[in-house]
């Protein structure tokens, strides 16, 4: 029997951090406050009414009229799996575009389902090459789905979702799109671009707590789910069952106990997004990116992604000359300034830092803190950077 020293047991009190990594982002106080509202039952009429509000607000955030637009009760990785397990069956052929870590996760989903992944590979930091997608579709006329990442979190590269979806539809393919980092932070138009299945996360540009994954499915995708030859491998993520709980005005069928308070938080974050205005949110992220960019470039740091393909909310910057231990820089930022930035992943591990400007983290004071802290630590560690110029450059951009 395990024992513990009772007097040492106490509540967990985390440090107050400024989150400027690849996620989660800073959670707005209004959203934290929403979490503390009284818990009610997940089939309570008041909660069911709020569920309907969440659906409408998500439709606005995603710019879609899809009826099957819901929050999956789990993080973005479960949203990804929800799309794949419902649309892919054993023996299917899926074209998967990979230009970073998360395209690789799509491939894993396809293969675990007994399907074949036809890979379209691009260099990390580059957008998906539309011409390569077209070639893959021409070479594989029996492909069923094209899957790609709209906003690659591992690199900060954005791909042309509209062009890829148009190509897929010309070849009678459905599309699955990862929008975990783009939703709320940069232009995303599900209906106009012809996206059939899309998933995102609550913890990035929506300024919400982690643990919820908004998804949306087109009518064609829903028909595909309903007409599967085999049962969906995941019981929990089977949309044929989940639709009974997140359906329209009909009586809700119990499926699982929804994360009630977390959905309060998502609702509040979506209300805030609607109040700000979707396009205003996109513009804010872009404006703040330009200020961070001005400061970093004045300091002498460079970006991995070409400007035309660069996400404003996720900035991959090269580690400057003279930094022998990039992890030590991040550690000092965290311990001395309570500031979190992200490391590189995969092929970019040890080569870049990922600086997030997502949701509530995308604020002028965060930009200035990040630049000042980074300059202080880097100069103290002997990195070859320009000092005394970053803050002025950023402030000039903020004032535009």
- Residue 273: what pLDDT? 98
The pTM is what?
A: 0.95
Position 384 in a domain: yes
- Residue 132: what pLDDT? 98
- Residue 245: what pLDDT? 81
286 shares a domain with 249: no
351 shares a domain with 330: yes
* pLDDT, tens only, 249-278: 556 778 888 999 999 999 999 999 999 999
CATH number of the domain residue 287 falls in: 3.90.1150.10
- Residue 255: what pLDDT? 87
**Spatial CB neighbours of 321, under 8 Å, sequence gap ≥ 6:** 383, 384
- Whole-number Å distance between alpha carbons of 382 and 10: 41
- Residue 286: what pLDDT? 98
- Residue 253: what pLDDT? 79
- Residue 2: what pLDDT? 63
Query: In the structure encoding, which two tokens stand for residue 94, read together?
Result: 């899926």
- Residue 252: what pLDDT? 74
- Residue 196: what pLDDT? 98
328 shares a domain with 256: no
246 shares a domain with 100: yes
Contact 258, 42 (CB under 8 A): yes
- Select from 274, 301, 319 the last residue of a domain: 274
The SS3 assignment for 306 reads: coil
Please, how many CA atoms are within 13 Å of residue 57, restricted to the half-sphere of its CB?
25
Q: Within the chain, which residues score under 50 in pLDDT?
A: none
Position 148 in a domain: yes
DSSP code string of 229-240:
SS--S-STT-HH
- Whole-number Å distance between alpha carbons of 217 and 333: 41
248 shares a domain with 110: yes
Is the bond into 24 cis (omega within 30 degrees of 0)? yes
Structural domain count of the chain: 2
Contact 100, 155 (CB under 8 A): yes
Environment class of 36 (CB within 10 Å of its CB; exposed 0-12, middle 13-18, buried 19+): exposed
Query: In the structure encoding, which two tokens stand for residue 193, read together?
Result: 């671009």
């Amino acid at each position: 029997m395990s024992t513990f020293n009772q007097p040492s047991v106490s509540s967990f009190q985390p440090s107050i951090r400024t989150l400027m990594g690849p996620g989660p982002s800073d959670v707005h106080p209004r959203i934290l406050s929403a979490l503390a509202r009284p818990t009610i039952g997940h089939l309570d009429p008041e909660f069911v009414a709020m569920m309907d509000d969440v659906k409408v607000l998500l439709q606005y955030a995603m710019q879609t009229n899809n009826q099957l637009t819901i929050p999956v009760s789990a993080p973005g990785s479960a949203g990804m799996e929800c799309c794949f397990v419902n649309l892919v069956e054993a023996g299917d052929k899926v074209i998967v575009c990979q230009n970073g870590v998360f395209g690789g996760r799509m491939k894993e989903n396809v293969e675990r389902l007994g399907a074949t992944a036809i890979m379209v590979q691009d260099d990390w930091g580059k957008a998906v090459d539309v011409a390569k997608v077209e070639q893959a579709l021409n070479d594989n006329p029996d492909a069923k789905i094209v899957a790609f990442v709209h906003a690659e979190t591992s690199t900060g590269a954005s791909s042309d979702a509209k062009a890829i979806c148009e190509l897929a539809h010309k070849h009678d393919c459905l599309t699955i799109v990862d929008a975990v980092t783009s939703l709320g932070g940069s232009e995303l138009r599900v209906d106009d671009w012809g996206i059939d299945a899309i998933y995102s996360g609550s913890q990035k540009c929506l300024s919400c707590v982690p643990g919820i994954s908004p998804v949306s499915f087109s009518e064609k995708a829903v028909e595909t789910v309903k007409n599967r030859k085999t049962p969906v491998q995941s019981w929990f993520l089977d949309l044929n069952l989940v639709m009974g709980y997140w359906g329209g005005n009909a009586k809700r069928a119990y499926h699982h106990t929804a994360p009630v308070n977390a959905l309060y938080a998502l609702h509040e974050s979506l209300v805030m997004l609607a109040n700000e205005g979707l396009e205003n949110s996109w513009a804010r992220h872009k404006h703040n990116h330009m200020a961070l960019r001005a400061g970093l470039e004045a300091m002498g740091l460079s970006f991995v992604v070409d400007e035309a393909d660069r996400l404003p909310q996720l900035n991959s910057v090269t580690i400057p000359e003279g930094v022998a231990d990039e992890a030590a820089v991040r550690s000092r930022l965290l311990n001395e300034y309570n500031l979190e930035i992200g490391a590189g992943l995969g092929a970019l591990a040890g080569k870049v830092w990922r600086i997030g400007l997502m949701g509530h983290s995308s604020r002028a004071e965060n930009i200035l803190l990040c630049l000042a802290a980074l300059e202080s630590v880097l100069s103290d560690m002997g990195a070859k950077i320009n000092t005394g110029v970053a803050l002025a450059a950023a402030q000039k951009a903020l004032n535009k």
